[in-house]
Structure formats: C-alpha cells, structure tokens
Amino acid sequence: MKRVCWTALPVLLALASASNAQSVAYDDALRAAVSDQPRIRASELRLDARRDVADAADELPDPKLRAGLRNLPVTGPDLFDPTMMTAFEIGVDQEIPNLVERRARAGLAAADIERASAELSYARNAARLGAGRAWISLAYAQQAEEIASDALHEIERLVPLARSSVAAGTARPGESLEVRRAVLEVEDRRTQIRADMQTAQARLARYIAVEDALAVGPPPSPEVNPEQLRATLEYTPEIVLAETEIRQAEAGVDLARSDLRPDFSVGASYGIRERQYGDLFSVMGTVTLPLFAKRRQQPRIEAARAQAAAAGEARLDMLRTLEAQFGADLASWRSAYRQWQRATDELLPLAESRAELERASFAAGRADLLDVIGAIKTLAVLRIEILAREQATVEAAANLRLTYREHGQ
C-alpha cells in the first residue's frame, strides 16, 4: 500500500520557525493530552479525596462529651435548693458500631476509590482520543495544503503562456479566462484546507495547550489487529466503570445487612454533689435491638440487592453496546481502508499517467493548454481525495486502538 510521503519534515520545520508554531509529534500529543488537563486534574483530586475518606471509613465515631445538672428540685419546699440527689454531672459517651458495619463502610470506601480511579482512566483515555483525532486532522490538512499549493504554482506558471498564446492568435481569448478560473478554483480549495488546518489546531490546543501547533513526524499506523482488540472489550473504561458500580452496590448490600446486627455504646459520668453528700460515678452501656427487621432493615436490604442486580444488568448492557460499537467501528475502518487502497492502487496511477501524457502532448503541440491544466487540477483533486481516504483509515485505526486497547496505557 502506497502512503503519502512524510519526508517533508525540513519544509514543515521551516514553516514552524517562520510562524513561531510549535512542532508536535503524534505520540507527544497523546502524552501531553494527559499531563495538563483540567478535567484530568479534577479526576485526580476526586481520587485523592476518596482515598482520604477511606482512611477514616472504619474508624469509631467521635466520642460525645455531656455536662449538666441532674435532679434539681423545681417545685415544693426545696425549690431550686440542691438536695442529696442533686449533682452537676459531666460524662463521655462512645458509640461502637458493630464490626460488620465497620467492615461494610470500609468496603464501600474502597469501591468509591475504584470508581474514582476508573473515572480518571476514562478521562485520560478521552483526552488521548480527542488529541489523537485532532493531530491526525491537522497532519493531513497540512499535506493537503501542500498538494494544493504545488498544483496552484504549476498552473500559475502556465498563465503567461496562455496570455502569449492568445496574443499570438494560437489560442482563443476565452482560454485565458479558463486558466484564470482554474487558478481561482484551486485557490478556493486551498483556502478551505487552510481553514481546516486552523480548526484542527484549535481542537488540538484544547488538549495540549499549544497555539498554532504543527504536526510533524509520521501518522499512526493504519493497520489494526481485530481479534486482539476484540479480546480487550471487557477492559475498556466503560466496562471498568460499570464494574465499579457493581462493587459499590454490593458494598451497599453489606452495609444494609449490617443493620441486622446490634450496635453498642458505652458511657461514663462523674456527678459532683454538695460536700456533705459525696460525689457519684456512673458507667452505662446500651445495645440496639433490631426487633423490627422485617419492616425496617429487610426492605433496605432488598432495595440494596435490587441496586446491585441493576448494576450487573447495566454492565451487561454496556458490554453489548460496546460489542455493537466495536463491530461498527471495525466496519468503518475496513471500508475506509478498501476505498483508500482502491484509489491509491487504481485511480492515482491513471491520473498521474494522464497528466504526464497531457504535458508531453502539449510540449509536442498535440494538446491544448486547457487539457494540461485540467489534468493538473484533476490530479491535485484526486491526491487530496486520497489523502482524505487515508486520513479516514488512520483515524478509524487510531480510534480502535485508543478506545479498545490503549486505555490501560
């Protein structure tokens, strides 16, 4: 398979120097896309927050300090007069959740960390995918602009010849207008290509924070290994996210079931009375009694189980969606590859041969100037079209690799 020549690097570097553009290779763009992205930084901070929360997930609640006045008469002859039973009391209470609940909360915190980590991987993959697509668009727009400029310069070199032919009477006056129209058509095409370049630069700047970037180096490979990619479907970011939802829901079930176990609390207090009565010390313990589990705890458990089952079904649905999307993406790549191959192997040689024949015939006086210009323009348009087909093939291949394999890199 013939590919567009990417040996114009010195020319591109010269253009970069002249315009203060920064040269960026494909792999560099992918690396830069995940190094300085606000969305990725936000995901990293959320992951840090989940880890911090997890450190305290299975810790005991804070103890409670209480203080107050106990048994002060408010009626009768001893109104507001401390008696033997009156005491200023200060105490500490500590709740002790059952061990199953503490383990369940730790498991839920761990599931939250996995979720945040999966979201970070998803954000990184999305950034690489966006940067890769933008870089490919920019690289091929640069090549198309070069082809259009070469064709324009070749046609413009024929303009004086057309004028002299009209002046000598060997060509119709309308031919010079046709030559001018051909120049304008190619200029319009180049203008559109340059607009596409600027659009691609703006898209790339979204991911790598480089204004007026210049794509350099070879593009990614147009080849893929379908079977290898198909084997990685269950490891894509979407599936990993769905699996973390399952683990979160399962941890929720464990937490709901922990309510079937009793919780405990202990408290100690010290009561200060009038000197003649002496002080008091008290120790108390409490335990919850889940006596109404059928009406209170069991509905919560069933709801948590339903959430876990729903998460499992959502994961299965996501896998089926990805399998269908993978098939569609693979079909798009195969179609683009075949069109590119057919145009390169069959159409391009015909157009190149026609252009050479027209040039030779014109030099021998057997062809009109308009025939030469038409062949030049047709060849340039075809080369740009082949570039577009190659771009579609490379984009489809890169999309497959980034979506279904490179997410873990």
- Identify the weakest region by mean pLDDT among 57-71, 214-228, 358-372: 358-372
- Of 57, 144, 212, the closest CA to residue 392 belongs to 144
Does residue 252 contact residue 304 with C-beta atoms inside 8 Å?
yes
Cβ burial of 94 (10 Å; 0-12, 13-18, 19+) is: middle
Nearest-angstrom CA–CA distance, 407 and 272: 67
- Residue-level pLDDT at 9: 39
The domains of the chain are located at 9-408
Q: Is the pLDDT confidence value at 2 over 70? A: no
- Of 341, 126, 142, the closest CA to residue 223 belongs to 341
- Residue-level pLDDT at 128: 93
The pair of three-digit structure tokens given for residue 80, joined into one six-digit string:
């507001």
For β-strands 280-287 and 87-96, DSSP reports them as: unpaired
- Residue-level pLDDT at 169: 56
Does residue 326 contact residue 229 with C-beta atoms inside 8 Å?
yes
- Residue-level pLDDT at 81: 67
- Residue-level pLDDT at 409: 43
Residue 352 vs residue 67, higher pLDDT:
67
Does residue 376 contact residue 154 with C-beta atoms inside 8 Å?
yes
Q: Is the pLDDT confidence value at 364 over 70? A: no
The whole-number average pLDDT for the span 276-302 is 88
The whole-number average pLDDT for the span 49-73 is 87
- Residue-level pLDDT at 8: 42
- Identify the weakest region by mean pLDDT among 80-84, 232-236, 243-247: 80-84
Helix (H, G, I), strand (E, B), or coil: what is residue 270?
strand
- Residue-level pLDDT at 114: 92
Per-residue pLDDT reduced to its tens digit, 100-125: 989 999 999 999 999 999 999 999 99
Which listed CATH number (3.40.50.10330, 1.20.1600.10, 1.10.1740.110, 3.40.50.10470) goes with 9-408? 1.20.1600.10
- Residue-level pLDDT at 250: 92
Residue 15 vs residue 158, higher pLDDT:
158
- Residue-level pLDDT at 29: 93
Q: Is the pLDDT confidence value at 183 over 70? A: yes
Hunting for tokens 């993978």 — which residue is that?
Answer: 326
- Identify the weakest region by mean pLDDT among 15-19, 42-46, 286-290: 15-19
Residue 239 vs residue 372, higher pLDDT:
239
- Of 402, 403, 398, the closest CA to residue 139 belongs to 398
Residue 31 has φ and ψ, to the nearest 5°, of -70, -40
Residue 162 vs residue 195, higher pLDDT:
195
- Residue-level pLDDT at 214: 94
The whole-number average pLDDT for the span 125-142 is 94
- Residue-level pLDDT at 57: 84
- Angle, nearest 10°, between helix axes 297-342 and 369-404? 150
Residue 181 vs residue 47, higher pLDDT:
47
Cβ burial of 336 (10 Å; 0-12, 13-18, 19+) is: buried
- Of 291, 237, 209, 259, the closest CA to residue 97 belongs to 259
The whole-number average pLDDT for the span 23-46 is 90
Hunting for tokens 């709901």 — which residue is that?
Answer: 256
- Residue-level pLDDT at 283: 94
Residue 274 vs residue 398, higher pLDDT:
398
For β-strands 214-215 and 87-96, DSSP reports them as: unpaired
- Residue-level pLDDT at 24: 93
E strand residue ranges, 157-244: 214-215
Nearest-angstrom CA–CA distance, 1 and 308: 51
- Residue-level pLDDT at 290: 87
The model's confidence at residue 337, banded by pLDDT at 50, 70 and 90, is very high
The whole-number average pLDDT for the span 309-322 is 94
- Residue-level pLDDT at 372: 75
The whole-number average pLDDT for the span 391-404 is 93
Q: What is the mean pLDDT of the chain?
A: 84
DSSP code of 127? H
